Each structure stands twice: as C-alpha cells, then as structure tokens.
Amino acid sequence: MIKNIIFDLGNVLLKFQPSEFLLRFTDDVEYIDQFVPKIFRSRVWMELDRGIISLENAKSNFISKYPEEKDFLTHFFNHWMEMLTPIEKNIKVLKELRNLGYKTYILSNFIKETFTFIGKKYNIFSLFDGQIISGFEKTIKPEKAIYETLLSRYHLLPEESLFIDDVLFFLKPAKKLGMKTIWNQPETDLREELRKFDILI
C-alpha cells in the first residue's frame, strides 16, 4: 500500500521550459537552440545542482567562457528563475493527496539559492513532510545516494513510496530500490496515474 508520494520539482510541480521562456527576450530561435543546452547541459550547471558552486560563480564562469555573449548571459542570470512557475494542475493533486492523508516529499535536482528564492515566492513548500534537494545534499539524481538519503532520513519503506519525475532515467534508481514510479509528461493525467496504484483520488 502506498503511503508516501514523492515529487520531483522541475516539470512536475514547477514549470521548467528554458527555450520557451528565453524566446520572450529574443526571437532568434537558432541562438536559443544553441544557448539552452550550452547552459543547462554544462558541467557548471551540474555543479550548481550538486551545490558545489554558487550561482554568482557560475555566471562568471559562463561569461569568461563566452565573453561575446556577456549581455545575454547577464540578462539570463537576472531572469531565469522567473520561468519556474507552479504547475497548478499538479499542485492541486498534491493538496488533495495531503487531504487524503498521504505523506508528501520532494526529491529534486535543484540549486540551493533557487530553492530559497522559490520558497519565498510561492507558498508551496509547506505542503511537504520532507524534502531532499540536491544542492543541499551534495548528491544528484540519478546517483543512488540521493534516493537512499530520502528513504533513510524520513524512514520511508520503498514499497510504500511512489516517486513522480518527468525524466525517465531518474526513475530507474528509485525502481531498483523497490519504489513505485510515475513518469510525468506534459500530457500526463496525474490523477489517472495515481489511481493505478489504488490511490482513490
């Protein structure tokens, strides 16, 4: 029986669509197409998620690497967190789950400073019984350690725990540890998926 429901943040509870967001600032689609992976799939961004460098250092790092893009990078770093807006349909499901008595948790690759920023901006973090944020834990998904930290810190039994993530390979380690999983895609009806686990929502 499922007792614990664990949520990823980006593209589960918070919108994370860099290309769509950055096209508000320029209509140069080609530029954004090369810019987004260059930033978000970089080693530096992974270090941010892991909590071993600050956003300020990351910004300087990118600017020294791509000096000709200094203006856009500066603008990017001043604004990118604005794209992290609540996905209301899933927040609603989260609230209902809590009303039904389920324990709810966060398991997310997320930057420390960004988590603090979001926590002040939106009143959603009070909706959880616990949270494992990579930037604070110094380990990131899909490393086994971050999943084990979640289970041990909150004394969760994997077979009673259901993890929801939009990245398929982040579900694998959870499954391996015995947790149930839901792969959340933009068109996913979370309510319908939860019912498959006998959650009467």
State which of residues 4, 6, 7, 10 lies at the interface with Mg ion (CB under 5 A): 10
Residue 108 pairs in a beta bridge with 133
Q: Which stretch binds Mg ion (CB under 5 A): 1-9, 76-84, 120-128, 173-181?
A: 1-9
Q: How far is the CB of 1 from Mg ion (least distance, A)?
A: 26
Q: Which stretch binds Mg ion (CB under 5 A): 3-11, 56-64, 69-77, 127-135?
A: 3-11
Q: How far is the CB of 96 from Mg ion (least distance, A)?
A: 21
Q: Please say whether the beta carbons of 79 and 62 come within 8 A.
A: no
Q: Which stretch binds Mg ion (CB under 5 A): 8-16, 43-51, 71-79, 130-138?
A: 8-16
Binding mask 127-166 for Mg ion (x = CB under 5 A): ---------------------------------------x
Q: How far is the CB of 87 from Mg ion (least distance, A)?
A: 11
Name the residue number minimizing CB distance to Mg ion. 10
State which of residues 5, 7, 8, 132 lies at the interface with Mg ion (CB under 5 A): 8
- Tell me if 49 contacts Mg ion by CB under 5 A: no
State which of residues 2, 11, 149, 197 lies at the interface with Mg ion (CB under 5 A): 11
Q: Please say whether the beta carbons of 6 and 107 come within 8 A.
A: yes
Which is closer to Mg ion, CB of 101 or CB of 169?
A: 169
Residue 105 pairs in a beta bridge with 6, 130
Q: Give contact residues for Mg ion (rule: CB under 5 A).
A: 8, 10-11, 166
